[in-house]
Amino acid sequence: MFRYIVRRLLYAVPVMLVVSIIVFGILHIAPGDPATMLAGEDARPEDVAAIKAKYGLDQPLYVQYGVWLADVLHGDLGKSLVTRRAVLAEVTARMPATAELAIASLLVAVTVGMIVGVISATRQYSLMDHGIMIVALLGVSVPVFWLGLMLILLFSVELHWFPTGGAGTFMQLVLPALTLGASSTAIIARMTRSSMLEVVRQDYIRTARSKGLKERVVTIRHALKNALIPVVTVVGIEFGYLLGGAVITETVFARPGLGRLLVSSITSRDFPVVQGTLMLLAGSFVLVNLLVDIVYGYLDPRIRYE
């Protein structure tokens, strides 16, 4: 297992390298000049040229990329062009709010999704099964920003149960977590149902029932554990999407996380902050997928990484 983990970490190096090239390239070919943004609309051409020279923006792209990559390898993500603060400080200051939202959304998605998925599988083709799948389809289809606005309108404006935004308290976390986790809940519920239906038709499940075990024991102890591997795969992928989806949710609920930082940095063409934020999100996605692969070995002893 140790060798497998080391090998996966080594595989992550070229992945992150490709991500860095894509992120850097897309930002620098996108319309908009950070030097012009910093200088202002009425700035003289020589002022813009001076800013470009100061920040190295007048160098060829491959030179700029090489300098930036060398700094990243030394743990320096650069400085914000707008605030002049270190990018690492900017990102780490916002990361707790985003991690809190992503973890809370994942807990909602896993708990609710697996429960309703198991219920739906054990009552296949019943009225409850059809109802759950219809709701799950709606959960996948509804846009995140629209759902967030509707929840704010209902629970904040009309009922006054929850605040409209912000961060720091449990009440401020509830609506964003429900909004962000809705789609993942639906996906996990559908995957759990599908996986459970495949497992409950296996011979060892019929054997367990023939031994006189209670249906609850057969479902939870025998069927669910063996149905978890594809579900865990989806959970790992969804956690990465939750980190990315926090961009929209944090903007809707005015949460001071990486999402709002990323949006404001893109608007102001603050390239170092955008690059650092995206690299951190990509690295988190790689680590989560590594953890998912490790969990496989504990769920199914037949899986061996040699």
The secondary structure of 238-295 as a DSSP string is HHHHHHHHHHHHHHHTT--SHHHHHHHHHHTT-HHHHHHHHHHHHHHHHHHHHHHHHH
Q: Is 212 left (phi over 0), alpha (psi -120 to 50) or beta?
A: left
Domain ranges of the chain: 2-73, 95-299
Ranges of the chain with pLDDT below 50:
none
Q: Are 165 and 96 in contact (CB under 8 A)?
A: no
Kindly state the DSSP code that residue 160 receives in the 8-state scheme: -
Tell the CATH topology of 95-299: MetI-like fold (1.10.3720)
Which residue, 242, 221, 240, is CA-closest to 105?
242
Cα of first residue to Cα of last residue in the chain, in angstroms, is: 7
Which token pair is 83? 């605030």
CA distances from 18 to 22, 24, 57 (A): 6, 10, 22
pLDDT at residue 175 in the model: 92
**Max Cα separation, the chain?**
86
30-64 burial: b if 16+ Cβ within 10 Å, else e: eeeebbbbbbeeebeeeebeebbeebebeeeeeeb
SS3 at position 86? strand
Which residue, 256, 103, 90, 258, is CA-closest to 167?
256
Q: Are 262 and 250 in contact (CB under 8 A)?
A: no
| pLDDT (tens digit per residue) in 33-79 | 777 777 666 677 777 788 778 777 778 888 888 888 888 888 888 88
pLDDT at residue 299 in the model: 63
